[in-house]
Amino acid sequence: MSAVPVIAIDGPSASGKGTVAQRVADTLGFHYLDSGAIYRLTALAAQRQSVQWQDEAQVAAIAATLDVRFDGAAIHLAGSNVTEAIRSEEIGSGASVVAALPAVRAALLARQHAFAQAPGLVADGRDMGSTVFPAAPLKVFLTASAEARAERRYRQLLARGEAADLAAITADLHARDERDRARAVAPLQQLPDARLLETTAMGVDEAVAQVLSWWNATINTPSA
């Protein structure tokens, strides 16, 4: 097991896991990995180089050489600030397409491992507990009903001043959930050793408190 403790938080799109993971990391003074951002960056970089998202070899080559700089909350791709650009629905869908390609996932593995630095890491995504950090002492599967997630994404887009259509968002979420679950490599799944955090009727504070409480229990339990 890696010497650096990792809290792996996996779950479907728009479940709020990013907000919860970031808050848990801030509270513990841990680093934070938004692995979805790395897939989004790959999709955006491919689009900017006019490479089709389905082109496994070319997208994997882009993933392997991605010129990314994380600067607090700001994300730079090849020198340009793409913090907002990677959050669009279009790039989210593209991320889900490139994420289904095994060579792309392999090319992004070392980049994700590099985030595991002292004193610890909170990593969120789809396969943090299953593939990227399988030895994580705490794994959480954070979810909410599809309706609640669509509503959250809808409100998020409105808050950013973007046009939002609840029916279209709901349809897109279903398509993305299906692609993330059905793919052959590292599909989204609730692992037997992951704690289930169902947040449909739960606010962010409560979800953060639950993860912190599980973490306290984990570090206070001597490992077998």
**Which residue, 182 or 196, is less far from ligand DC as judged by CB?**
182
Q: How many CB atoms are located within 10 Å of the residue 150 CB?
A: 22
Distance of CA 96 to the CA centre of its chain: 11
Among residues 36, 107, 133, 197, the one that binds ligand DC under rule CB under 6 A = 36
Q: Kind and range of the H or E element at 107? A: helix 102-113
Residues 25-30: contacts with CB under 8 Å, at least 24 apart: 25/121, 25/122, 27/208, 27/212, 28/119, 28/120, 28/122, 28/212, 28/215, 29/119, 29/120, 30/5, 30/119, 30/120, 30/121, 30/122
Maximal CA-CA distance, the chain: 52
- Whether the link from the prior residue into 119 is cis, omega within 30° of 0, is yes
Does position 95 interact with ligand DC (CB under 6 A)? The reply is: yes
> Is residue 92 involved in binding ligand DC (CB under 6 A)?
yes
Among 7, 16, 122, 126, binds ligand DC (CB under 6 A): 126
Q: Which residue number, 5 or 92, has a Cβ lying nearer to ligand DC? A: 92
Q: Applying CB under 6 A, does 39 fall inside the site for ligand DC?
A: yes
Rounded CA gap, 105 and 94, in Å? 14
- Which of 9, 13, 31, 199 binds ligand DC (CB under 6 A)? It is 13
Decide if residue 153 touches ligand DC (CB under 6 A).
no
Question: Which residues ranging from 99 to 118 are in contact with ligand DC (CB under 6 A)?
Answer: 99
**Binding flag, residue 96, ligand DC (CB under 6 A):** yes
Choose which of 20, 28, 127, 150 interacts with ligand DC (CB under 6 A): 127
State which of residues 157, 180, 207, 210 lies at the interface with ligand DC (CB under 6 A).
Answer: 180
The residue ranges that bind ligand DC (CB under 6 A) are 13, 35-36, 39-40, 92, 95-96, 99, 125-127, 176, 180
